[in-house]
Amino acid sequence: MFPDFSSARVLVVGGSSGIGLATAKAFAAHGAQVTIASRNADKVAAAVAEASAGARGTVQGAQIDTTRDDDVVRFFADGQPWDHVVVSAAQTPTGQVRKLPLADAYAAFDSKFWGAYRVARAVQIRDGGSLTLVSGFLATRPSKASVLQGAINAAVEAIARGLALELSPVRVNTVSPGLIATPLWDKLDATARQSMYDGAAASLPAKRVGQPEDVANAILYLAGTPFSTGSTVLVDGGGVIAG
Ligand SMILES: NC(=O)c1ccc[n+]([C@@H]2O[C@H](COP(=O)([O-])OP(=O)(O)OC[C@H]3O[C@@H](n4cnc5c(N)ncnc54)[C@H](OP(=O)(O)O)[C@@H]3O)[C@@H](O)[C@H]2O)c1
Protein backbone atom coordinates (compact mmCIF):
# COMPACT_ATOMS: atom_id res chain seq x y z
CA MET A 1 0.00 0.00 0.00
CA PHE A 2 1.46 3.35 -1.03
CA PRO A 3 1.42 6.36 1.29
CA ASP A 4 -1.03 9.10 0.53
CA PHE A 5 0.71 11.45 -1.90
CA SER A 6 -2.04 14.06 -1.39
CA SER A 7 -0.71 17.55 -1.94
CA ALA A 8 2.76 16.26 -2.88
CA ARG A 9 4.25 18.21 -5.81
CA VAL A 10 5.44 15.60 -8.28
CA LEU A 11 7.32 16.18 -11.56
CA VAL A 12 7.63 13.45 -14.17
CA VAL A 13 10.17 14.42 -16.84
CA GLY A 14 9.35 12.18 -19.77
CA GLY A 15 5.80 11.80 -18.48
CA SER A 16 4.11 12.07 -21.88
CA SER A 17 4.64 8.42 -22.80
CA GLY A 18 5.33 4.89 -21.60
CA ILE A 19 6.85 4.45 -18.15
CA GLY A 20 6.66 8.18 -17.38
CA LEU A 21 2.97 8.39 -18.29
CA ALA A 22 2.11 5.33 -16.18
CA THR A 23 4.05 6.93 -13.30
CA ALA A 24 2.21 10.24 -13.67
CA LYS A 25 -1.13 8.41 -13.69
CA ALA A 26 -0.21 6.42 -10.58
CA PHE A 27 0.91 9.49 -8.63
CA ALA A 28 -2.25 11.37 -9.70
CA ALA A 29 -4.43 8.42 -8.67
CA HIS A 30 -2.78 8.61 -5.24
CA GLY A 31 -3.64 12.28 -4.82
CA ALA A 32 -0.47 14.05 -5.96
CA GLN A 33 -0.26 17.36 -7.80
CA VAL A 34 1.49 16.07 -10.89
CA THR A 35 3.34 17.96 -13.61
CA ILE A 36 4.03 16.03 -16.81
CA ALA A 37 6.94 17.47 -18.78
CA SER A 38 8.54 16.57 -22.09
CA ARG A 39 9.42 18.17 -25.44
CA ASN A 40 6.28 17.70 -27.52
CA ALA A 41 3.35 19.95 -26.51
CA ASP A 42 0.73 17.75 -28.21
CA LYS A 43 1.98 14.62 -26.47
CA VAL A 44 2.03 16.46 -23.14
CA ALA A 45 -1.56 17.68 -23.63
CA ALA A 46 -2.77 14.16 -24.49
CA ALA A 47 -0.95 12.73 -21.46
CA VAL A 48 -2.45 15.35 -19.14
CA ALA A 49 -5.94 14.44 -20.39
CA GLU A 50 -5.27 10.73 -19.94
CA ALA A 51 -3.76 11.10 -16.46
CA SER A 52 -6.51 13.46 -15.32
CA ALA A 53 -9.15 10.79 -15.85
CA GLY A 54 -9.29 8.90 -12.59
CA ALA A 55 -6.98 11.31 -10.77
CA ARG A 56 -7.58 12.16 -7.12
CA GLY A 57 -4.95 14.86 -7.43
CA THR A 58 -4.31 17.37 -10.19
CA VAL A 59 -2.38 17.05 -13.44
CA GLN A 60 -0.78 19.80 -15.50
CA GLY A 61 1.66 19.87 -18.36
CA ALA A 62 4.89 21.69 -19.16
CA GLN A 63 7.55 21.65 -21.87
CA ILE A 64 11.20 20.83 -21.35
CA ASP A 65 13.99 19.48 -23.52
CA THR A 66 16.53 17.84 -21.23
CA THR A 67 19.21 17.93 -23.95
CA ARG A 68 19.29 21.74 -23.74
CA ASP A 69 21.21 23.31 -20.86
CA ASP A 70 19.32 26.61 -21.13
CA ASP A 71 15.92 24.94 -21.27
CA VAL A 72 16.54 22.93 -18.11
CA VAL A 73 17.80 26.01 -16.26
CA ARG A 74 14.73 27.98 -17.46
CA PHE A 75 12.37 25.22 -16.37
CA PHE A 76 13.63 25.19 -12.78
CA ALA A 77 14.33 28.95 -12.50
CA ASP A 78 11.37 29.61 -10.19
CA GLY A 79 13.15 27.58 -7.47
CA GLN A 80 9.85 26.10 -6.25
CA PRO A 81 10.72 22.85 -4.48
CA TRP A 82 9.24 19.54 -5.59
CA ASP A 83 8.45 16.61 -3.31
CA HIS A 84 9.19 13.87 -5.82
CA VAL A 85 10.86 14.05 -9.23
CA VAL A 86 11.13 11.23 -11.76
CA VAL A 87 13.28 11.32 -14.90
CA SER A 88 12.27 8.76 -17.51
CA ALA A 89 13.00 11.02 -20.50
CA ALA A 90 15.32 9.55 -23.10
CA GLN A 91 15.70 9.07 -26.82
CA THR A 92 18.67 6.86 -27.46
CA PRO A 93 19.83 5.71 -30.88
CA THR A 94 21.35 2.28 -30.43
CA GLY A 95 23.47 -0.21 -32.32
CA GLN A 96 26.77 -2.02 -32.26
CA VAL A 97 29.80 0.01 -31.22
CA ARG A 98 31.51 -0.59 -34.58
CA LYS A 99 28.39 0.39 -36.56
CA LEU A 100 26.60 3.18 -34.66
CA PRO A 101 27.80 6.59 -35.94
CA LEU A 102 29.70 8.46 -33.24
CA ALA A 103 27.28 11.38 -33.49
CA ASP A 104 24.40 9.03 -32.60
CA ALA A 105 26.38 7.54 -29.73
CA TYR A 106 27.05 11.01 -28.31
CA ALA A 107 23.38 11.95 -28.79
CA ALA A 108 22.26 8.84 -26.89
CA PHE A 109 24.49 9.63 -23.90
CA ASP A 110 23.49 13.28 -24.07
CA SER A 111 19.80 12.45 -23.99
CA LYS A 112 19.68 9.84 -21.25
CA PHE A 113 22.72 10.41 -18.99
CA TRP A 114 23.38 14.12 -19.41
CA GLY A 115 19.63 14.82 -19.53
CA ALA A 116 19.22 13.26 -16.08
CA TYR A 117 22.40 15.05 -14.93
CA ARG A 118 21.08 18.44 -16.05
CA VAL A 119 17.81 17.89 -14.18
CA ALA A 120 19.61 16.70 -11.03
CA ARG A 121 21.84 19.78 -11.19
CA ALA A 122 19.01 22.31 -11.49
CA VAL A 123 16.07 20.86 -9.58
CA GLN A 124 15.05 21.80 -6.02
CA ILE A 125 13.62 18.95 -3.94
CA ARG A 126 12.39 19.17 -0.36
CA ASP A 127 14.32 17.41 2.40
CA GLY A 128 13.11 13.80 2.57
CA GLY A 129 11.69 14.08 -0.95
CA SER A 130 13.01 11.94 -3.77
CA LEU A 131 14.60 11.88 -7.20
CA THR A 132 14.14 8.67 -9.15
CA LEU A 133 16.05 7.95 -12.36
CA VAL A 134 15.29 5.21 -14.86
CA SER A 135 18.15 3.03 -16.12
CA GLY A 136 17.56 -0.39 -17.75
CA PHE A 137 18.45 -4.07 -17.63
CA LEU A 138 21.28 -3.70 -20.16
CA ALA A 139 23.40 -2.20 -17.33
CA THR A 140 23.69 -5.64 -15.76
CA ARG A 141 22.82 -7.95 -18.68
CA PRO A 142 24.61 -6.51 -21.72
CA SER A 143 23.60 -7.18 -25.29
CA LYS A 144 26.17 -7.16 -28.09
CA ALA A 145 23.65 -5.21 -30.17
CA SER A 146 23.35 -2.39 -27.58
CA VAL A 147 26.63 -2.13 -25.68
CA LEU A 148 26.39 1.65 -25.43
CA GLN A 149 22.89 1.50 -23.89
CA GLY A 150 24.25 -0.75 -21.14
CA ALA A 151 27.03 1.75 -20.43
CA ILE A 152 24.55 4.63 -20.30
CA ASN A 153 22.30 2.72 -17.89
CA ALA A 154 25.25 1.82 -15.66
CA ALA A 155 26.27 5.49 -15.60
CA VAL A 156 22.73 6.50 -14.62
CA GLU A 157 22.78 4.03 -11.72
CA ALA A 158 26.21 5.23 -10.61
CA ILE A 159 25.24 8.88 -10.61
CA ALA A 160 22.08 8.13 -8.63
CA ARG A 161 24.10 6.35 -5.94
CA GLY A 162 26.52 9.29 -5.73
CA LEU A 163 23.73 11.86 -5.72
CA ALA A 164 22.10 10.01 -2.82
CA LEU A 165 25.14 11.13 -0.79
CA GLU A 166 25.52 14.60 -2.30
CA LEU A 167 21.84 15.58 -2.09
CA SER A 168 21.03 13.90 1.25
CA PRO A 169 18.54 14.24 2.94
CA VAL A 170 16.90 14.19 -0.50
CA ARG A 171 16.70 10.52 -1.50
CA VAL A 172 17.95 9.38 -4.91
CA ASN A 173 17.21 5.97 -6.42
CA THR A 174 17.09 4.20 -9.77
CA VAL A 175 14.56 1.84 -11.26
CA SER A 176 15.95 -0.58 -13.83
CA PRO A 177 13.26 -1.93 -16.17
CA GLY A 178 13.48 -5.07 -18.25
CA LEU A 179 11.65 -5.22 -21.56
CA ILE A 180 8.52 -3.07 -21.15
CA ALA A 181 5.76 -2.70 -23.74
CA THR A 182 5.79 1.05 -24.39
CA PRO A 183 5.75 3.36 -27.43
CA LEU A 184 9.57 3.16 -27.32
CA TRP A 185 9.15 0.04 -29.43
CA ASP A 186 6.87 1.65 -32.03
CA LYS A 187 10.05 1.99 -34.10
CA LEU A 188 9.71 -1.75 -34.83
CA ASP A 189 7.03 -3.01 -37.19
CA ALA A 190 4.09 -4.70 -35.48
CA THR A 191 5.19 -8.25 -36.33
CA ALA A 192 8.76 -7.79 -35.12
CA ARG A 193 7.53 -6.08 -31.96
CA GLN A 194 5.05 -8.85 -31.12
CA SER A 195 7.65 -11.50 -31.77
CA MET A 196 10.07 -9.70 -29.39
CA TYR A 197 7.35 -9.51 -26.70
CA ASP A 198 6.42 -13.18 -27.21
CA GLY A 199 10.07 -14.23 -26.99
CA ALA A 200 10.51 -12.31 -23.74
CA ALA A 201 7.33 -13.75 -22.26
CA ALA A 202 8.46 -17.29 -23.10
CA SER A 203 11.95 -16.92 -21.64
CA LEU A 204 11.36 -14.78 -18.55
CA PRO A 205 10.59 -16.37 -15.17
CA ALA A 206 7.63 -13.96 -14.88
CA LYS A 207 6.27 -15.45 -18.16
CA ARG A 208 5.05 -12.16 -19.52
CA VAL A 209 6.39 -8.94 -20.98
CA GLY A 210 6.60 -5.95 -18.64
CA GLN A 211 3.98 -3.22 -18.59
CA PRO A 212 4.70 0.44 -17.79
CA GLU A 213 2.52 0.12 -14.68
CA ASP A 214 4.98 -2.48 -13.30
CA VAL A 215 7.74 0.12 -13.37
CA ALA A 216 5.48 2.91 -12.10
CA ASN A 217 4.69 0.71 -9.11
CA ALA A 218 8.39 0.49 -8.22
CA ILE A 219 8.84 4.24 -8.65
CA LEU A 220 5.98 5.00 -6.24
CA TYR A 221 7.44 2.47 -3.79
CA LEU A 222 10.81 4.29 -3.85
CA ALA A 223 9.24 7.75 -3.59
CA GLY A 224 7.04 6.65 -0.71
CA THR A 225 9.63 4.74 1.33
CA PRO A 226 11.62 7.16 3.55
CA PHE A 227 14.37 4.57 4.20
CA SER A 228 15.10 3.96 0.49
CA THR A 229 18.00 5.87 -1.01
CA GLY A 230 21.00 4.99 -3.16
CA SER A 231 19.26 1.85 -4.37
CA THR A 232 18.56 0.32 -7.77
CA VAL A 233 15.35 -1.65 -8.07
CA LEU A 234 15.17 -4.18 -10.91
CA VAL A 235 11.75 -4.62 -12.50
CA ASP A 236 12.73 -7.13 -15.15
CA GLY A 237 10.48 -10.17 -14.89
CA GLY A 238 13.45 -12.11 -13.53
CA GLY A 239 15.54 -11.50 -16.66
CA VAL A 240 18.74 -11.06 -14.68
CA ILE A 241 18.47 -14.58 -13.24
CA ALA A 242 17.16 -16.27 -16.41
CA GLY A 243 19.53 -18.45 -18.42
N1 LIG B 1 10.53 0.30 -22.71
C2 LIG B 1 11.54 -0.52 -22.39
O3 LIG B 1 11.58 -1.72 -22.78
C4 LIG B 1 12.68 -0.01 -21.55
C5 LIG B 1 13.62 -0.95 -21.06
C6 LIG B 1 14.68 -0.51 -20.29
C7 LIG B 1 14.82 0.85 -20.01
N8 LIG B 1 13.90 1.74 -20.51
C9 LIG B 1 14.10 3.16 -20.22
O10 LIG B 1 12.95 3.70 -19.63
C11 LIG B 1 12.88 5.11 -19.93
C12 LIG B 1 11.50 5.43 -20.46
O13 LIG B 1 11.29 4.63 -21.63
P14 LIG B 1 9.83 4.42 -22.24
O15 LIG B 1 9.78 3.02 -22.70
O16 LIG B 1 8.79 4.94 -21.33
O17 LIG B 1 9.98 5.35 -23.56
P18 LIG B 1 8.93 6.28 -24.34
O19 LIG B 1 7.57 5.69 -24.27
O20 LIG B 1 9.56 6.52 -25.65
O21 LIG B 1 8.93 7.66 -23.50
C22 LIG B 1 10.03 8.50 -23.51
C23 LIG B 1 9.60 9.84 -22.96
O24 LIG B 1 10.73 10.71 -22.90
C25 LIG B 1 10.35 11.98 -23.46
N26 LIG B 1 11.60 12.56 -23.96
C27 LIG B 1 12.47 12.03 -24.87
N28 LIG B 1 13.51 12.85 -25.04
C29 LIG B 1 13.29 13.92 -24.23
C30 LIG B 1 14.01 15.12 -23.99
N31 LIG B 1 15.18 15.40 -24.60
N32 LIG B 1 13.50 16.01 -23.10
C33 LIG B 1 12.33 15.76 -22.47
N34 LIG B 1 11.60 14.65 -22.66
C35 LIG B 1 12.08 13.74 -23.55
C36 LIG B 1 9.31 11.64 -24.51
O37 LIG B 1 8.41 12.70 -24.79
P38 LIG B 1 8.59 13.81 -25.95
O39 LIG B 1 8.76 13.07 -27.25
O40 LIG B 1 7.34 14.62 -25.85
O41 LIG B 1 9.79 14.60 -25.56
C42 LIG B 1 8.55 10.55 -23.78
O43 LIG B 1 7.63 11.13 -22.87
C44 LIG B 1 14.02 5.37 -20.92
O45 LIG B 1 15.14 5.85 -20.21
C46 LIG B 1 14.34 3.98 -21.47
O47 LIG B 1 15.67 3.87 -21.90
C48 LIG B 1 12.84 1.34 -21.25
Measured in Å, residue 184 CA sits from the centre of ligand 1 at 7
Atom of ligand 1 nearest to the CA of 66: 32
Residue 22 near residue 217 (C-beta atoms within 8 A): no
Dump pLDDT digits (tens) for 78-119: 999 999 999 999 999 999 999 999 999 999 999 999 999 999
Indicate if ligand 1 lies below 6 Å from the C-beta of 201.
no
Residue 165 near residue 206 (C-beta atoms within 8 A): no
Indicate if ligand 1 lies below 6 Å from the C-beta of 91.
yes
Measured in Å, residue 89 CA sits from the centre of ligand 1 at 4
The predicted pLDDT at position 243 comes to: 72
Indicate if ligand 1 lies below 6 Å from the C-beta of 149.
no
127 vs 106: CA distance, rounded Å:
34
Residues in the chain predicted with pLDDT less than 70, given as ranges, are 1
Atom of ligand 1 nearest to the CA of 21: 43
* Cα radius of gyration (the chain): 17
Atom of ligand 1 nearest to the CA of 186: 20
The predicted pLDDT at position 1 comes to: 66
Q: Pick the residue whose CA is nearest to atom 2 on ligand 1.
A: 180
The predicted pLDDT at position 167 comes to: 98
The model carries a pTM of 0.98
Indicate if ligand 1 lies below 6 Å from the C-beta of 20.
yes
3-class state of residue 33 by DSSP: strand
Measured in Å, residue 69 CA sits from the centre of ligand 1 at 18
Q: Which residue ranges make up each domain of the chain? A: 9-182+212-235
CATH superfamily placement of domain 9-182+212-235: NAD(P)-binding Rossmann-like Domain (3.40.50.720)
211 vs 180: CA distance, rounded Å:
5
